[in-house]
């Protein structure tokens, strides 16, 4: 795991932002702590209480993310895909990544990809924001979503004026 190049966290003004979180039921031992950390991040930055739904697996994330993106300021997708012994892992990861990206662009709404794609359960736990984890992807994904939504809010309310940043 790298972490190299990670920016310093900065204050995010997420006041009034409405967020939807869609999380998988697969690998709940990893995903549920990520969900808790994402909720904590949103509260920390001042976003409204998020709407949360669960779906079966990672391939189902984009379609629910799209529905949220139509009525929310930002979306956070959470899950964990663990490599198995077949190419299924590659298809799932590619499909969900492409799907979430397409949703964000089609709906002009930030969709944070907080789906862990790991070789082992241990790697996933080390990224899930658990006590002793080296990373906290639930917090990071939620922060990225509202940070981007705040940037878009600023651009959209600037009335076409040049915005310094």
CB 20 within 8 A of CB 77: no
> Quick check: 91 pLDDT over 50?
yes
Report pLDDT for 7.
77
Question: What does R_g of the chain's alpha carbons equal in angstroms?
Answer: 16
Tens-place pLDDT, residues 109-158: 999 999 999 999 999 999 999 999 999 999 999 999 999 999 999 999 98
The pLDDT value given to residue 1: 46
Active site positions, annotated: 88
18 is known to lie in a ligand binding site:
no
* Residue 36: Cβ within 10 Å count: 14
Whether 161 has a pLDDT exceeding 90, the answer reads: no
DSSP string across 37-95: HHHHHHHHHTPPPPEEEEESSGGGHHHHHHHHHHHSSEEEEEEEEE--SSTHHHHHHHH
**Mean pLDDT, rounded, of the chain:** 94
Instruction: With H, G, I as helix, E, B as strand and everything else as coil, classify residue 22.
Output: strand
Confidence of residue 8 (pLDDT cuts 50, 70, 90): confident
Phi, psi of 136 (to 5 degrees): -140, 75
Average pLDDT over residues 43-70: 98
The candidate with the shortest Cα–Cα distance to 55, out of 72, 67, 71, is 67
Distance between CA 107 and CA 102 in Å, rounded? 8
Helix (H) or strand (E) holding 122: helix 121-125
85 is in an annotated binding site: yes
pTM: 0.93
Give the pLDDT band (50/70/90) at residue 9: confident
27 is in an annotated binding site: no
Assign domain 19-158 to a CATH class: alpha beta
150 labelled as ligand-binding? no
């Amino acid at each position: 795991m790298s972490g190299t190049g990670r920016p310093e966290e900065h204050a995010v003004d997420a006041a009034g932002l409405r967020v939807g979180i869609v999380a998988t039921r697969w690998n709940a031992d990893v995903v549920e702590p990520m969900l808790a950390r994402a909720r904590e991040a949103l509260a920390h930055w001042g976003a409204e209480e998020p709407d949360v739904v669960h779906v079966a697996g990672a391939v189902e994330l984009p379609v629910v993310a799209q529905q949220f993106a139509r009525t929310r300021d930002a979306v956070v997708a959470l899950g964990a895909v663990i490599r198995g012994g077949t190419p299924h892992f590659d298809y799932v990861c590619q499909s969900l990544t492409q799907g979430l990206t397409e949703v964000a662009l089609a709906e002009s709404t930030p969709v944070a990809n907080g789906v862990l794609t790991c070789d082992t359960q241990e790697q996933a736990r080390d990224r899930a924001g658990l006590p002793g984890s080296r990373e906290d992807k639930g917090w990071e994904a939620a922060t990225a979503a509202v940070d981007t939504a705040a940037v878009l809010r600023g651009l959209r309310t600037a009335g076409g004026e040049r915005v310094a940043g």
